[in-house]
């Protein structure tokens, strides 16, 4: 069992204290933004914020963080318009998107302690692995989000990621099999 605060909600996990936080979040809280990649703390897909630090949730047993405040990508911004999210969308950064929640949670922790990070600081703070290779645009997107957080720039809201319901509805007829002759 472990008592935590997750995305500002008190949570009591009636799970083995050795359960990795990632499984508690995904399976018990249905917070599936943090992803399972390697399970060994290498890839960064599962990074969440624990008490202001970016931590790989796959490596942390819930019993070891009793009383902590955990923020996941779902709790970062109710409107999904944190400057990092806006900057990533504006740069067309997300490709398959699997790594993006972990990258954003690592980046937000960096920007809170280092509001104007240079390239080296960003690379050091974001060890995340991206199989789609978003790295070339990543540095600038994080720096742009930093400028927005410092009030030096406004990032216009772009189209929300995901399939527009109207487009999904239009695609349905193509799935209907042709009439039999
Ligand atoms: Fe946690 Fe890869 S799944 S670091
Ligand atoms: Fe696909 Fe990073 S966007 S893994």
pLDDT at site 173: 54
Residue 171 confidence class, pLDDT cut points 50, 70, 90: low
Is residue 167 situated within a structural domain? no
Residue 178 confidence class, pLDDT cut points 50, 70, 90: low
Please tell me if the CB atom of residue 155 comes closer than 6 angstroms to any atom of ligand 1. no
The domain boundary residue, chosen from 45, 76, 107: 76
Residues 46 and 97 occupy one common structural domain: no
- Give the distance (Å) from ligand 1 centre to CA of residue 171: 35
Residues 71 and 87 occupy one common structural domain: no
**How many domains is the chain partitioned into structurally?**
2
pLDDT at site 3: 96
Residues 54 and 71 occupy one common structural domain: yes
Our mutation pick for probing the ligand 1 site, out of 23, 25, 46, counting the most ligand atoms within 8 A of Cβ, is 46
Is residue 135 situated within a structural domain? yes
For the chain, helix, strand, coil in percent to 5 are 40, 15, 45
pLDDT at site 136: 87
> Residue 45's domain is classified under what CATH number?
3.10.20.30
Residue 17 confidence class, pLDDT cut points 50, 70, 90: very high
Range of the domain at 137: 83-149
Contacts of 75 by beta carbon, 8 Å cutoff, 6+ apart: 6, 7, 8
> Residue 115's domain is classified under what CATH number?
1.10.150.120
Model's pTM, two decimal places?
Answer: 0.88
pLDDT at site 19: 98
Percentage of the chain beyond pLDDT 90 is 83
- Give the distance (Å) from ligand 1 centre to CA of residue 41: 4
More confident residue, 156 or 144: 144
Residues 49 and 14 occupy one common structural domain: yes
Is 159's pLDDT higher than 90?
no
Is 12's pLDDT higher than 60?
yes
Spell out which residues line ligand 2, taking CB within 6 angstroms.
94-100, 130-132, 134
pLDDT at site 160: 66
- Average pLDDT of the chain is 92
More confident residue, 136 or 163: 136
CB 108 within 8 A of CB 76: yes
């Amino acid at each position: 069992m472990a008592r935590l605060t997750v995305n500002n909600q008190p949570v009591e996990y009636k799970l083995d204290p050795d359960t990795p936080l990632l499984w508690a979040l995904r399976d018990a809280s249905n917070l599936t933004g943090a992803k399972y990649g390697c399970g060994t703390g290498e890839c960064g897909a599962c990074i969440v914020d624990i008490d202001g630090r970016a931590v790989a949730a796959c490596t942390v047993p819930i019993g070891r963080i009793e009383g902590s405040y955990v923020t996941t990508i779902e709790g970062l911004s109710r409107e999904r318009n944190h400057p990092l999210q806006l900057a990533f969308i504006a740069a067309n950064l997300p490709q398959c998107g699997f790594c993006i929640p972990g990258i954003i949670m690592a980046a937000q922790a960096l920007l809170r302690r280092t509001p104007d990070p240079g390239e080296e600081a960003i690379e050091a703070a974001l060890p995340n692995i991206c199989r789609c290779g978003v790295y070339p645009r990543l540095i600038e997107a994080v720096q742009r989000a930093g400028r927005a957080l410092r009030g030096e720039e406004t990032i216009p809201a772009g189209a929300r990621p995901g399939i527009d319901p109207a487009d999904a509805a239009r695609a349905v007829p193509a799935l209907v099999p042709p009439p039999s002759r």
